[in-house]
Structure 1
């Protein structure tokens, strides 16, 4: 008997002529071929369809992986084409040594015993290295959880039980904060003790607005790209990896604006506490703020 994974990889459904509106929530599974981080993830789509399609995708794997990305798409003949955007990453929680994929999804609609499905394939590239391809896979989605459960029940004897990755201190790779970063020297501004894993960052200009642009990195991984620093604060929500004792926020100057150097005001909101930091970066030095998660807090 075929496993669920092999069924998703090789099953073929004859698509009906497409005439359905696919707006709403879809619940399912996404596979990744051997060599990826995991063979099977929970996957959801929340879609809006008018002339074109837009919405969000959600990927989950236990408590270790939570990824939400905005997407857009269109329908051509019987195929629904959906593309996630690197600029619309809403939430990205993965183990330290994992990187999310920005996916292109091609699916077809089918109906079976009053259950509606979207089935197809995905390809993608690394969120941080757009020239690096992700290992692809397949997708099965149902309009309802009951429909998805019917699918899984039909193949209950061969469903792959994917082990959720558990990151232990011995497995955790400690980031190298001493090396240079994109040909600049990280310059420590301050170190802050925080009480919550889930934090909010607010970035705004405290001097004259002169078109400064920065990118924000957490532990050398991109959080937000090409932020135009203005009087209106840019807000970024992020989570700290509890297996790391120290975390690094870098504000890399993409350009210096009309009046060098690159200046901004950084607020780090930690529950009821707010920390204010004045930031200066240029093409030689990148401002670095270090966070220490208070032991025992989550």
Structure 2
């Protein structure tokens, strides 16, 4: 009986996550960079379009008066999304600064009524490997 209840709970949890894991929309939050990066904390947005287990979209990152927008592709496997930015489509920067094209894995979870994506990122700039960091995003609720 215990095994049957556990199986039913796991099946229910998996189906709930599958139904609710619509990633489409805007995700907002912060991107951090370990010590030695240009800054340790940036504003970050991901605009995601999901078709099946494939995702595409744009990343917008800003700090102070500089910003960049990148295009990414990725894949959803369970509650994990993998992403990889493949080009910068517009940016502003300071002298001797370079933006990173990032990649990583983000975990989808629900905290109360809020959907969260979080995980680690790595990257590459024209100067070589970037100092990595973390991403923490919440799904923005559309407003009328």
Short-chain TM bin:
0.7 to 0.9
Q: CA deviation at 1:96?
A: 1.0
Q: CA deviation at 1:32?
A: 0.3
Q: Which residue in 2 is equivalent to 1:280?
A: none
- Once the two structures are superposed, the pairs formed by residues 101-116 of structure 1 within 5 Å of their partners are 101-116=100-115
Q: CA deviation at 1:78?
A: 2.5
- Once the two structures are superposed, the pairs formed by residues 36-55 of structure 1 within 5 Å of their partners are 36-51=37-52, 52-55=54-57
For residues 70-125 of structure 1, what are the alpha-carbon distances to aligned partners after superposition, in whole Å with 9 as ceiling and x for unaligned?
00000123310011003xx1112111111000000210111111011101110001
Q: Which residue in 2 is equivalent to 1:59?
A: 61
Distance 1:92 1:124 in 2: 17
3-state SS in 2 of match to 1:69? strand
3-state SS in 1 of match to 2:129? coil
Q: What is the total number of aligned residue pairs between the two structures?
A: 124
Q: CA deviation at 1:47?
A: 0.5
Distance 1:112 1:82 in 2: 22
Q: Does 1:82 align with 2:83?
A: yes
Distance 1:77 1:26 in 2: 18
Question: Does the aligned pair in 1 maintain the 2:79–2:109 contact within 8 Å?
Answer: no
Q: 2:130 aligns with which of 105, 120, 134?
A: 134
> Which contiguous aligned blocks of 4+ residues in structure 1 show a shift greater than 6 angstroms?
none
3-state SS in 2 of match to 1:96? coil
3-state SS in 2 of match to 1:33? coil
Q: CA deviation at 1:43?
A: 0.2
Q: Which residue in 2 is equivalent to 1:212?
A: none
Q: Which residue in 2 is equivalent to 1:35?
A: 36
Q: Higher helix proportion, which one? A: 2
For residues 6-54 of structure 1, what are the alpha-carbon distances to aligned partners after superposition, in whole Å with 9 as ceiling and x for unaligned?
xxxxxxxxxx754211010000000000111100000000000003100
Distance 2:22 2:78 in 1: 14
When normalised by structure 1's length, the TM-score is 0.40
Q: Which residue in 1 is equivalent to 2:7?
A: none
Distance 1:109 1:74 in 2: 13
Higher Rg: 1
Q: What residue ranges of structure 1 are gaps of 5+ in the alignment?
A: 1-15, 146-298
Q: Which residue in 1 is equivalent to 2:92?
A: 93
Distance 1:111 1:143 in 2: 10
